[in-house]
Structure 1
Amino acid sequence: MSGKRISREKETISKMIALYETQCPQASRDPGHYQALNAYADKRLDKCVFGEEKPACKQCPVHCYQPAKREEMKQVMRWAGPRMLWRHPILTVRHLIDDRRPVPELPEKCRPNNKA
């Protein structure tokens, strides 16, 4: 079960992907591709090691996306981000505020063992 912050992140990502899919001329893939990308992002958010204290993904020390999907998501966000201000201003402002949150310390379960 996800909290308010994770739910808001999911909604923001969903809106960004939908905007990119419908408006971007380069988004010539089938609609199922973007539904799968959105489902992948939701799954990654559900499994975030930071939970409700998560930093913005671009500042996160744990890269939980596969490299190809991470690059694709960056492309979606780069294109949709500036346009989100006009379509979904409240979500955009809240996302920008969340982006300024400090990066929390890595949870104990994710730290590498420093045994020599």
Structure 2
Amino acid sequence: MHLIHTKTSLQMRIIEREQRTAEQMIRIYCRYKEGNKELCPTCQQLLHYAHNRLEHCTFGEQKKTCRNCPIHCYKPEMKKRMREVMRYAGPRMIFFHPITTIKHFIHK
């Protein structure tokens, strides 16, 4: 007998929205900061790591932004890389993905 962990649709929406936001930021960083047309292996690794961390978030549908989270689930090196991405891509998100940016600030 398999135990299947199902998630509510609200929880999926929150997790998926955070995953999309992380992906958009990583893509902006990789393309405009590093000059790559496609994600480089380092950025692919960071994207996979971010998606995995979000997928296993213990807060689920009560999840707030990672910045406001009391649990630090990122390894120090990955946290450093994600901060660098966010520092570069964050201010640019409003130009590339304005709706995502507004939703992010509302959810904050």
TM (normalized to structure 2)? 0.83
Q: Does 1:93 pair with 2:102?
A: yes
User: Could you tell me which residue of structure 2 aligns to residue 15 of structure 1?
Assistant: 24
User: Could you tell me which residue of structure 2 aligns to residue 47 of structure 1?
Assistant: 56
SS in structure 2 at match of 1:62: coil
Q: Which structure is larger by alpha-carbon Rg, 1 or 2?
A: 1
User: Could you tell me which residue of structure 2 aligns to residue 108 of structure 1?
Assistant: none
Query: In the aligned structure 1, how far is the partner of 2:73 from the partner of 2:65?
Result: 12
Query: In the aligned structure 2, how far is the partner of 1:52 from the partner of 1:40?
Result: 20
CA RMSD of aligned residues (A): 1.7
User: Could you tell me which residue of structure 2 aligns to residue 105 of structure 1?
Assistant: none
User: Could you tell me which residue of structure 2 aligns to residue 81 of structure 1?
Assistant: 90
Q: Does 1:72 pair with 2:77?
A: no
Decide which structure has greater helix share: 2
Query: In the aligned structure 2, how far is the partner of 1:75 from the partner of 1:6?
Result: 22
Q: Residues 68, 26 of structure 1: CA spacing in aligned structure 2 closer, same or farther, 3 A cutoff?
A: farther
Identity of aligned residues (%): 41
Q: In structure 1, list runs of 5 or more residues that go unmatched.
A: 100-116
Q: How many residues align?
A: 97
TM (normalized to structure 1)? 0.78
Q: Does 1:34 pair with 2:43?
A: yes
Q: In structure 2, list runs of 5 or more residues that go unmatched.
A: 1-6
Query: What amino acid is aligned across from residue 76 of structure 2 in structure 1?
Result: P
4+ residue runs of structure 1 moved beyond 6 angstroms? none
